[in-house]
Amino acid sequence: MKTIITAALTGAVTSKSKAPALPVTPKEIAEDGIRCWKAGASILHLHMRDENGRGTMDKERFRETVNILRNECDAILNLTSSGELGVSYERRMEHIIELKPEMATFDAGSINAGDGIFDNTIEFLTMLGKCLIENGVKPEVEVMDLGFISAAEHYTKVGVLIPPVHYQFVLGFGFHGAPATPENLCYMKTKLPEGSTWSAFGVGAAHMPILYTTVALGGHVRVGLEDNIWYSKGVLATNVMLVERAGRVIREFGNEVATPAEAREILGLSKK
């Protein structure tokens, strides 16, 4: 099979002081994205940072990165709707409405995050789902715990999500998310509706067991400094190192790394 690699380049939390290779400015994020695309990532998952390195939903920053990437590569762009805690619903969607990426995240429930709440109320998810449908953006439904799958089924039933849904298992999200173990992934995967596509990653050290389990179970993979800053014990990673290793794991297993065109086919994205 063809396996899609998503590169999660920056995130909202990873600190530059701990991960020196973290791309932070819009230009750095775009340049790192191009390197990852050349290394085999067909989806680039994007967050932005402000001048102090904090996660921001500033649409002008998204615009700068998106413009560079659209000019220089054919990667599928997947913009976060959750890059800054405690901001208005509008601010979490305005960059999506203006830039119309092919994909955007849809976190199917709320969960504690650090000192705050990663809040995804029914009201917000209903607005977000409708906004994605209206703008032709494919949701990536992020699943931090088992109940998020049944939540997504509810949103499908009420027309907020359109099947087949694409899921992203986010395992090991703090100590409130489902722990990042192969056993949990195996079980949760059985709960996906027929016809779904899915990808997975584990946070931190769990990225390796989840990477291998995902490939073995026929899923797609996500790697990047948003999720994990280490290549191996004591060796700091770059995004490209993580993408290149995912490609090797996929090929050694006997699969092929999906090109952006193949990823579009798999995910049902209309041709650009």
| Token pair of 16 as six digits | 């530059």
Count residues binding Zn ion (CB under 5 A): 1
User: Is the CA virtual torsion 186, 187, 188, 193 positive or negative?
Assistant: positive
Smaller CB separation from Zn ion, 80 or 184: 80
Shortest gap between Cβ of 252 and Zn ion (angstroms)?
27
Nearest distance from residue 90's CB to Zn ion, in Å?
19
Q: 80: which residues sit within 8 A by CB, 6+ positions away?
A: 12, 45, 46, 47, 104, 105
Instruction: Kindly state whether residue 80 participates in binding Zn ion, applying the rule CB under 5 A.
Output: yes
Positive or negative torsion for Cα 261, 264, 266, 269: negative
What angle is formed at CA 34 by the lines to CA 270 and CA 74, rounded to 5 degrees? 20
Q: Taking the complex as a whole, how short is the minimal distance between the CB of residue 8 and Zn ion, in angstroms? A: 6
- Rounded CA gap, 134 and 137, in Å? 8
In whole angstroms, how close is the CB of 160 to Zn ion at the nearest point? 20
Q: Which is nearer to Zn ion, 50 or 265 (CB)?
A: 50
Instruction: Categorise residue 125: left if φ over 0, alpha if ψ from -120 to 50, beta otherwise.
Output: alpha
**3-state secondary structure at position 88:** coil
The residue among 80 and 199 lying less far from Zn ion, judged by its C-beta, is 80
Query: Which of these ranges, 77-85, 143-151, 195-203, 211-219, lies near Zn ion under the rule CB under 5 A?
Result: 77-85
Q: Which residue's CB comes closest to Zn ion?
A: 80
Q: Which residues have CB under 8 Å from 110's CB, separation 6+?
A: 117, 118, 119, 120, 121
Among residue numbers 159 through 218, which ones bind Zn ion (CB under 5 A)? Answer: none
Would you say 10 or 156 has its CB closer to Zn ion?
A: 10
Nearest distance from C-beta of residue 5 to Zn ion, angstroms: 15
| H or E stretch at 202 | strand 197-202
* Alpha carbon distance 66, 87 (integer Å): 22
Residue number with CB closer to Zn ion (80 or 120): 80
Of residues 11 and 194, the one with the C-beta less far from Zn ion: 11
Q: Which stretch binds Zn ion (CB under 5 A): 49-57, 74-82, 150-158, 181-189?
A: 74-82
We find the least distance from the C-beta atom of residue 224 to Zn ion, in angstroms, to be 9
**Contact footprint for Zn ion (CB under 5 A):** 80
